[in-house]
Structure 1
Amino acid sequence: MKLTYKQTERKPENSFYVRQDTIPCIEQNWHFHKELELIYFMKSKGTRYVGNSIGDFGPGELYLIGSNVPHLFRNHKEYYLDSSEHGGVDLIVTKFEPEFLGANFLELAEVKKLQALLEKANRGIKFSKSISYLVHSQLVGLVSCNGLARIVGLLNILDILSVSENQEILCSEVINSALNNNEKERMARVITYISENFDKKIDLDEVAAIAYMTPNSFCRYFKKRTKKSFTQYLNEIRLRHACRLLIEGEKQIATICYQSGFNTITNFNRQFKSLMQVTPTEYMEQYKEKEDLMSL
């Protein structure tokens, strides 16, 4: 699957785009667009791919993705099988160009912190849930705003985000300038293949062929672009899937091991502890303790 450029269709009378989607599941490919994207998940969970970063996403999370940064938010497989069991997806997407208020706007002394925020967005930003909560009502209200109130509403949100300290930078490098279009498409094919087949045996020769490279060249290329070896990257995806199954608590650890793409329990336990610093059993127990405390 090729990386796609997504054209944003906004009304001529609007300087930026905002919508709320209440849908069964997220259906999109790895893509990029010239606008920055502020995406707020009120109801949804799955795996996120932003540049060379992988992680989980869930309800109450807010992200700011920079201009031309490749990204994909993919629901867990259950959503595509029967989204009614999970309540579907509810999210708000806001897209705006860096200079939507004019070419000289970001040069104003009063917006230096906003300028810094937009620069950091080139590596992808995840905000804390406390910040998401702070701007929740403003994001919801932005969907129905018109006229000048619409612009003021977005600026108020960006102002809060620009001074917030609880931010997580997702990517190890600025992706939009680090990859040309051909490289983005190559990485798109590889990441899509991995995300769709991580629970099966993945042969290095086959993945390298998808990238039109020899295995050795592919390994060097992948490490340079993601700052991780191919095996490390694949194991992270598998282990994040395993974490979700462990939290759900409906399956035995041995079953989770094989359903996450690992061949042996020994290797699964070793890789899990290396990434999570605890064993799978300890991870489940820690999560259950947190759940019990929250229920008091």
Structure 2
Amino acid sequence: MKVSKGNMRLTYKQTEKNPGRSFMARQDTMPCIEQDWHYHKELELIYFMKSTGTRYVGNSIGNFGPGELYLIGSNVPHLFRNHKEYYAAEGSDEGVDLIVVKFERDFLGDNFLNLTESNRIQLLFDQANKGLKFSKAVSYLVHSHMVGLVNSQGLSSIIGILRILDILSISENYQVLCEEEINTTFRKDEKERMAKIISYLNENFHNKIELQEVSDLANMTPNAFCRYFKKRTRKSFSQFLNEIRIRHACKLLIEGKHQIATVCYQSGFNTLTNFNRQFKSLMNITPSEYMKKYETPIAVE
């Protein structure tokens, strides 16, 4: 799972194979998550027991935290990246504790999903092509099964993963991250181009970003780039950038160390009025209401 954190180009990840298992399950503890924006043919369950950061799943952007469980479909580009302080303190503490389970759609055999009893699981796998985030109540239900799966062997491991998939398949407490399936949206060259753009935005969102400089990065004219970006992400460039900035602002507001005006400028907005408008448009709540929701006092600066 460890690669250079400075490189966020899209990569295809070949999942390590264990001859004694038909799927992969492991627990990782580390100072920080270091990975590229990547995809793989396996579906992936990711359960965060300890970690916070920003998630990119297809064209969806959001924050992630402890107790959250995600199911990512086959060939869906995704990235879970910790907040900057994790990397600044790298090597000092084990700031991340997560469980990863990867399996191919037909890992239980060619005919398993065609069984009447497997209908709900087949639908679950189909929905995973949009990316799924389960509620913390569902995470609680599967917690012991996820932990037990890491060290289980033989038939008990199959029983364990079936228990997890059964619980997830009957649950209605989940959020679909993308409006439509995106695993076949990009060709390989398009994925690499989008990865370069996302990397640039992720590293520079707190600064003023001109459309021309991002268009140059994609080797396009501004008009062509805007059409290209909207077609691939189903969002305008400004909307996508504002989402990155607002997710960062949410993190700062929850911490409660800064006044709202400071959060505004540290998140890349140049006026408080625009920040308040964009925040409420995305979050359906004002920044001050958001702070009160998390009972975070405003620090005096």
TM-score range, shorter chain: over 0.9
Query: By how many angstroms is 1:84 displaced?
Result: 7.7
Q: What stretches of structure 1 of length at least 5 have no aligned partner?
A: 290-296
Partner of 1:163: 170
Query: By how many angstroms is 1:113 displaced?
Result: 0.6
Moved more, 28-37 or 98-107: 98-107
Partner of 2:248: 241
Determine what percentage of the aligned residue pairs are the same residue. 69
Give the TM-score, by structure 1 length: 0.94
Query: By how many angstroms is 1:85 displaced?
Result: 8.3
Deviations 1:48-81, CA, capped at 9 Å, x for gaps: 0000111111000000000110000000111101
Letter in 1 for 2:156: A
Q: What stretches of structure 2 of length at least 5 have no aligned partner?
A: 1-7, 297-301
Q: Distance in 1 between matches of 2:207 and 2:247?
A: 15
- Partner residue of 2:18 out of 1, 11, 30: 11
Partner of 1:110: 117
Query: By how many angstroms is 1:2 displaced?
Result: 2.5
- Partner residue of 2:135 out of 128, 135, 141: 128
Would you say the 8 A contact 2:31–2:92 is kept in 1?
no
> 1:176 aligns to what SS in structure 2?
coil
> 1:177 aligns to what SS in structure 2?
coil
> What pairs up with 1:8-47 in 2 under 5 angstroms?
8-47=15-54
Would you say the 8 A contact 1:79–1:86 is kept in 2?
no
Q: Are the structure 2 counterparts of residues 86 and 218 from structure 1 closer, same or farther at C-alpha, using a change threshold of 3 Å?
A: farther
Would you say the 8 A contact 1:199–1:259 is kept in 2?
yes
Letter in 1 for 2:187: N
Give the TM-score, by structure 2 length: 0.92
Deviations 1:239-287, CA, capped at 9 Å, x for gaps: 1111111111111222111110111222212222222233222221232
Partner of 2:282: 275
Query: By how many angstroms is 1:222 displaced?
Result: 1.1
Query: By how many angstroms is 1:40 displaced?
Result: 0.2
Letter in 2 for 1:150: S
1:228 matches 2:200: no
Q: Distance in 2 between matches of 1:219 and 1:207?
A: 10
1:287 matches 2:294: yes
> 2:102 aligns to what SS in structure 1?
strand
Query: By how many angstroms is 1:155 displaced?
Result: 0.8
Deviations 1:85-124, CA, capped at 9 Å, x for gaps: 8860000000000011111211111101100000110111
Partner of 2:211: 204
Query: By how many angstroms is 1:165 displaced?
Result: 0.7
Paired positions, count: 290
Letter in 1 for 2:216: A
1:191 matches 2:163: no
Partner of 1:292: none
Normalized per residue, the structure richer in helix is 1
Would you say the 8 A contact 2:53–2:83 is kept in 1?
yes
Q: Distance in 1 between matches of 2:116 and 2:285?
A: 48
Letter in 1 for 2:38: H
Query: By how many angstroms is 1:288 displaced?
Result: 1.1
- Partner residue of 2:268 out of 247, 251, 261: 261
- Partner residue of 1:97 out of 82, 86, 104: 104
Query: By how many angstroms is 1:228 displaced?
Result: 1.2
- Partner residue of 1:82 out of 89, 94, 98: 89
Would you say the 8 A contact 2:43–2:103 is kept in 1?
yes
